[in-house]
Amino acid sequence: MTNDEIKTFIENAIKENRVMLFMKGTPQQPACGFSMRASGALNALGVKYAALDILPDPRIREELSGVSGWPTIPQLFVDGELVGGSDIVMEMFESGELAGLLGVEQPELEEEPEPEQPVQQRPIGLENRLN
Amino acid sequence: MPSAEELRTRIEEALPGAEVSVVDTTGGGDHFRAEIVSDHFEGLTRIQQHKLIYDVFGDEVGGAIHALSIKTETPSPAGDGR
Distance CA A81, CA A53 (A): 19
Contact B47 A83 (CB under 8 A): yes
The predicted pLDDT at position A81 comes to 96
- pLDDT at position A112 over 90: no
d(CA A87, CA B6): 22
Instruction: Please tell me the distance in Å from A72's CA to the nearest CA on chain B.
Output: 7
Read off the pLDDT of each residue in B35-42 and give the average, rounded to a whole number. Answer: 97
Widest Cα–Cα separation across chain A = 46
For residues A68 and B6, give the distance between their C-alpha atoms in angstroms, rounded to a whole number: 27
Could you tell me which chain B residue has the CA closest to the CA of A86?
A: B69
Can you tell me the distance from the alpha carbon of A90 to that of A27, in angstroms, rounded to the nearest whole number? 16
Is the separation of the CB atoms in A64 and A75 below 8 Å? yes
Predicted ipTM? 0.81
Amino acid occupying residue A37: R
A85:B46 CB<8 A: no
